């Protein structure tokens, strides 16, 4: 039988109460009997405290700061793992990171940055930061104060008793995302775009000036004015001309403003930029760099009320002559069907195929759940001699009649020249037509759940094919096994239709 006792919570040691209305709180506490030596020898304990450091670092890296602190209280080994280098290699700042509650008579409780807690964090583990990520935050005061604090540590570098050396020195990646749609954050259909600037922009520029060993810089949705954007990367150009290998500038400005700074980084490998920041001079400058992948990206906040066109043909020709290995990728991220414009206004204005056929287009990614791949986009890709892929990601299922329409189908077939990923409904006959028409096709990914076992006479009669060809498709399209066998024979490897789990596991790789 276990022992126990009652514990009374009294206000003073003597047991007297300051108020007659006060009643002491009592709680019953169980006291387990002490284990004998024999019981201690028979008990089995877990070996989590003996987990190797390389595994502890991986586990702790998935936890939030609060969860890491609680985990460090488990045992001495986990307390030591709390301060390991790889645990803090990526530091993400959010609205409630390193904050404390403060009551405001007008707004109630608010989270404000705790400077003591922040300084303790930077002193203990700040030198382990390799990646610094600023998620979209609505508390600009916390964001402004944290950027100034880490800049102050980077400038001091342990020159006094209040700072330590190494903070900011080893940061290789900086990602800053501004919440430009803060007014209607919960309603994606109502977009009101605001830009950064003022003291917040000054703090960001000061931080970038003190990070002198950056290899990757990501600035997303800043929406600056043209006069502010012209001097945004002056300090980065001075410090990271040789080291920067990846640069992401998405919607740096809201309106048209060429950014010539991107041509300064001679060892740049990947550049992601919005169409409103491109110009003929920019294209010519990157031709003299080691750039291999140019991503022209348009998201849902990109300007759509003005006409933005790609640079002229002559600039692309000069760029290809100086940098023949560069590949161009077009990416569109949106939620509305009307937002599929591309930087050349596909769908609104007629495309000058002769003007843009020299672009070394390697892939086009359409991330829009409410639209279909239009025929004019397919024609644009098919006319480009260097085009390799079309990736319609995150698109909905549509009716077969829309997918197998003759003219649309002919254009689509010409697109899948290297790698195809088909998410929509498709028939077995269409699969056979794709692999038999696209001679350079190497990989084809198809969802088995949306494949229809049938021979489509509607579109087949519009194409000029021999009777033997139609007979071959008709026979092999009536069973999944025959379709997989014929596709495997043409592609030269064991091909099969993917399950939903296998299809979702496919990784979209553009740089191949």
Give the CATH number, domain containing residue 61.
Answer: 1.20.1280
Domain boundary among 68, 88, 108: 88
| Tens-digit pLDDT profile for residues 161-207 | 777 888 889 999 999 999 877 655 555 556 666 667 788 999 999 99
| Tens-digit pLDDT profile for residues 214-233 | 999 999 988 888 888 888 99
The one-character DSSP state at 125 is H
Q: Is residue 397 part of a domain?
A: no
Domain boundary among 88, 114, 148: 88
Angle 467-476/428-437 helices, nearest 10 degrees? 130
Q: Is residue 437 part of a domain?
A: yes
Alpha-carbon distance 345 to 472, whole Å? 41
Residue from 469, 425, 418 nearest 442 by CA: 418
pLDDT score recorded for residue 381: 46
Residues in the chain predicted with pLDDT less than 50, given as ranges, are: 1, 12-22, 340-341, 343-351, 353, 373-388, 394-417
Q: Is residue 58 part of a domain?
A: yes
Q: Is residue 227 part of a domain?
A: no
Residue from 353, 340, 286, 350 nearest 313 by CA: 353
> Which residue's structure tokens are 């990206």?
297
Q: Is residue 418 part of a domain?
A: no
Residue from 247, 239, 353 nearest 292 by CA: 247
- Supply 434's token pair: 């794709």
Q: Is residue 420 part of a domain?
A: no
| Structural domain boundaries, residue 72 | 47-88
Domain boundary among 32, 60, 88: 88
Q: Is residue 359 part of a domain?
A: no
Q: Could you give the number of structural domains in the chain?
A: 2
- pTM for this model (two decimals): 0.72
Task: State the SS3 of 64-98.
Answer: CHHHHHHHHCCCHHHHHHCCCCHHHCEEEECCCCC
**Where are the extended beta strands (E) located within 206-326?**
216-220, 246-250, 270-273, 293-298
Residue 79 CB partners (closer than 8 Å, separation 6+): 72, 73
pLDDT score recorded for residue 349: 40
Q: Is residue 80 part of a domain?
A: yes
> Which residue's structure tokens are 């990947």?
270
């Amino acid at each position: 039988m276990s022992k126990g006792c009652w514990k009374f919570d009294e206000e003073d040691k003597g047991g007297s109460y300051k108020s007659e209305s006060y009643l002491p709180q009592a709680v019953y506490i169980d006291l387990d009997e002490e284990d004998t030596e024999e019981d201690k020898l028979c008990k089995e304990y877990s070996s989590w405290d003996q987990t190797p450091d390389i595994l502890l670092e991986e586990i702790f890296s998935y936890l939030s700061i609060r969860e890491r602190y609680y985990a460090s209280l488990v045992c001495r080994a986990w307390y030591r793992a709390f301060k390991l280098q790889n645990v803090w290699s990526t530091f993400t700042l959010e609205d409630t990171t390193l904050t404390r509650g403060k009551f405001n008579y007008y707004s109630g409780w608010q989270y404000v940055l705790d400077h003591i807690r922040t300084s303790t964090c930077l002193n203990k583990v700040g030198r382990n930061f390799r990646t610094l990520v600023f998620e979209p935050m609505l508390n600009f005061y916390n964001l402004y104060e944290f950027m100034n604090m880490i800049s102050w540590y980077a400038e001091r570098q342990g020159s006094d008793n209040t700072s330590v050396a190494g903070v900011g020195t080893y940061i290789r990646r900086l990602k800053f995302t501004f919440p430009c749609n803060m007014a209607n954050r919960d309603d994606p259909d109502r977009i009101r775009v605001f830009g950064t600037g003022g003291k917040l922009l000054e703090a960001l520029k000061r931080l970038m000036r003190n990070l002198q060993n950056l290899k990757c810089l990501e600035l997303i949705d800043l929406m600056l004015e043209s006069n502010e954007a012209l001097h945004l990367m002056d300090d980065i150009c001075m410090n990271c001309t040789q080291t920067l290998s990846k640069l992401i500038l998405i919607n740096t400005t809201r309106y048209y403003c060429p950014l010539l700074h991107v041509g300064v980084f001679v060892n740049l490998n990947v550049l992601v930029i919005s169409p409103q920041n491109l110009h003929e001079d920019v294209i010519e400058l990157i031709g003299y760099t080691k750039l291999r992948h140019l991503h022209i990206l348009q998201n849902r906040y990109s300007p759509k009320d003005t006409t933005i066109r790609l640079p002229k043909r002559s600039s692309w020709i000069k760029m290809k002559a100086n940098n023949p290995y560069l590949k161009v990728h077009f990416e569109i991220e949106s939620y509305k069907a009307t937002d599929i414009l591309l930087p050349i206004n596909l769908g609104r204005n007629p495309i000058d195929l002769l003007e843009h056929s020299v672009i070394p287009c390697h892939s086009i990614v359409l991330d829009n759940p409410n639209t279909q791949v239009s025929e004019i986009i397919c024609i644009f890709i098919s006319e480009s001699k260097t085009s390799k892929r079309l990736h319609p990601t995150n698109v909905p299922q549509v009716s077969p009649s829309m997918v197998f329409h003759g003219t649309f189908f002919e254009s689509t077939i010409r697109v899948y020249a290297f790698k195809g990923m088909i998410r929509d409904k498709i028939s077995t006959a269409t699969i056979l037509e794709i692999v038999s028409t696209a001679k350079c096709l190497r990989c084809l990914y198809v969802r088995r759940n949306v494949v229809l076992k049938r021979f489509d006479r509607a579109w087949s009669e519009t194409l000029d094919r021999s009777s033997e060809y139609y007979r071959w498709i008709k026979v092999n399209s009536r069973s999944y096994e025959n379709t997989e066998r014929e596709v495997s024979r043409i592609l030269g490897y064991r091909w099969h239709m993917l399950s939903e789990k296998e299809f979702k596991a496919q990784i979209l790789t553009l740089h191949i």
